[in-house]
Each structure stands twice: as structure tokens, then as C-alpha cells.
Structure 1
């Protein structure tokens, strides 16, 4: 993501509107920008459990992993925010211009870490 325009701003807001995607980004940022998919799913499930709306049991972790694999990581990768290819087990936070300041604000507002 280079300089911001209306379309890029809309993409940023769309990405950050989903708590699960925000938790992915928070986790990657906190863990040196790279995590194995299983560890990432566990961390996201823990963060969701801290919201008291879900439990971080094995079933929930599996549910999160499937959703990350089939929905959220693809959306984040398409936007250039993370690097993840189907079949790879590593997810990496990408260098993005303009996105970081929005992620910083989101972390300040709702990050339970």
C-alpha cells in the first residue's frame, strides 16, 4: 500500500473492521512480524476468548485456523498487508506505507494484550 487514496482508505477500514483480522495483525506485530499458522490461530483464539464471547478450547482454535486459512489471510494477503500462500504454514506481516498508523490506533483502542 503506497500513498493513500479513497480506495486504499476503504480497504484499510474493511480489513480493520473485523476483530479476527485485527487480532492477526496485532499478533504478527507483537511476534516479530512472522508466525506459524497454528501458533497464530491459537493466539487469535486466546484473544477472542478474552472478549468473553468465545472459549479458546481445541475446537475453537480449529475453527479459527480454518477461518484464517480460507477467509482472513487471503483477504489480508490480497491487500498486501501479510504474506501467506496456500500450502505455506508461515504468515508474515508485510511492510506497508500508510497502513501502520491505522493499525497503531486500532491497537491503542482495543488490543487486549
Structure 2
């Protein structure tokens, strides 16, 4: 449940001396965000974009700067070209709902008076990967299932001496199968790294736009 600024309490002083507001009932240092809470938080696009921007540009950002970047991403444009209304809608939504909710879960520290958001250690340690599958693409799980089926068929065919597979040695086919798995794994690791929040300038779901 989200909280408003009036529900916040003064908890500690930031590194530069300004007061830092956290939502009442926020987690203390060391408490772990559960899987369900992480999914709930990141089910909203603006909260995903917030975490991405903090990981990519932070860990400490101004609310105005964050609002401009999120508005630009949502409208498929640049920070320089967003309208005042587009920026204001995002600013108000973040200020009144999303940032207090993230602060309550211990992902960020939010000073509503100064308009400053800071990523906590807990938020920084939250590694998030998004598997974005386009209409003609397939998930990695299905890809590996298909690759396993193809390699199993090759092994069976080689075992019974099917021509022309029998022209190559067992060692050659073993090397081929290992290579297909290795290349696929390397491609998967690269893809995962590019789909992690905070890795690139744009959020992962906008990577190809």
C-alpha cells in the first residue's frame, strides 16, 4: 500500500547534511526484499524506470531529472523534447505514489522536501533481468529445449550410422554439439547482461527502440 508524504517521518541525516525522509514502517538496513515484494514493485513501469535510472546514473538523483528521463522514455522522445504536461504527470505520480512505495520497501531513500532520491544498498544489490520477447522471437527456455532436441536427434542418428552423418567421426560430432551449447550460452550471457536494469542508457524494454 502506498503512503503519502504526510505519512513520512524524519529518520536520519544524509551525507551532505540534508534530512532524509523515509516512509513510516520502512525496512531497516539488512532486511531483505522478498521475491513477491520485488515482483510487486517492478510490475509497474515507472518504478522499473526509476530503478534503472538510479542504477545507471545514480545512486543519487533529483526528482526533476528522474521525471524528465521517465517522461522521455514513456513518450519515445528525448528529454529536450518532452512537454511540460508530460513531465508534470510523471513528476506528480512519482512524488505522490511510486517513490514513497519504493522507500517503504527499502529500495530507495526519498527526501520529499529536497526532491532527492538515493538508491540504497538493498536496491543496488537487487539484480533485475527482463526477458523481453518480440512477436517473432522465442524465450530462451524454448530455444534450449529445441537445441536439446536437435542435438539428441544428431546423437541418435550418429549412433545408428545414418548417412551422411556417419561420414564424420564421433569426436567431430561431440565437438559440434559442445560448440552449439557453448555459443548459445555465450549469447545468452550477453543478452542477459544487456537486459539488466541499469546496464544501458535506456531501460531494457526500450533497448531496440
In 2 relative to 1, CA 99–18 (structure 1 residues): closer, same or farther, beyond 3 Å? farther
Partner of 1:40: 66
Partner of 1:60: 86
In the aligned structure 2, how far is the partner of 1:35 from the partner of 1:98?
A: 14
Q: What is the TM-score of this pair, normalised by structure 1?
A: 0.80
Partner of 1:73: 99
In the aligned structure 1, how far is the partner of 2:52 from the partner of 2:122?
A: 15
Q: Deviations over 1:33-63 (max 9, x none)?
A: 1111100100111111129xxx932101001
In 2 relative to 1, CA 69–87 (structure 1 residues): closer, same or farther, beyond 3 Å? same
Q: For this pair of structures, how many residues does the alignment match?
A: 105
Q: Which runs of 5+ in 1 are unaligned?
A: none
- Higher relative CO (Cα under 8 Å, sequence separation at least 6) belongs to 1
Q: In terms of mean alpha carbon deviation, does 66-75 or 25-34 score higher?
A: 25-34
Following TM superposition, the consecutive aligned residue runs of length 4 or more in structure 1 with deviations greater than 4 angstroms are none
In the aligned structure 2, how far is the partner of 1:98 from the partner of 1:86?
A: 21
Q: What is the TM-score of this pair, normalised by structure 2?
A: 0.45
In the aligned structure 1, how far is the partner of 2:43 from the partner of 2:125?
A: 14
As a proportion of its length, which structure holds more helix? Answer: 1
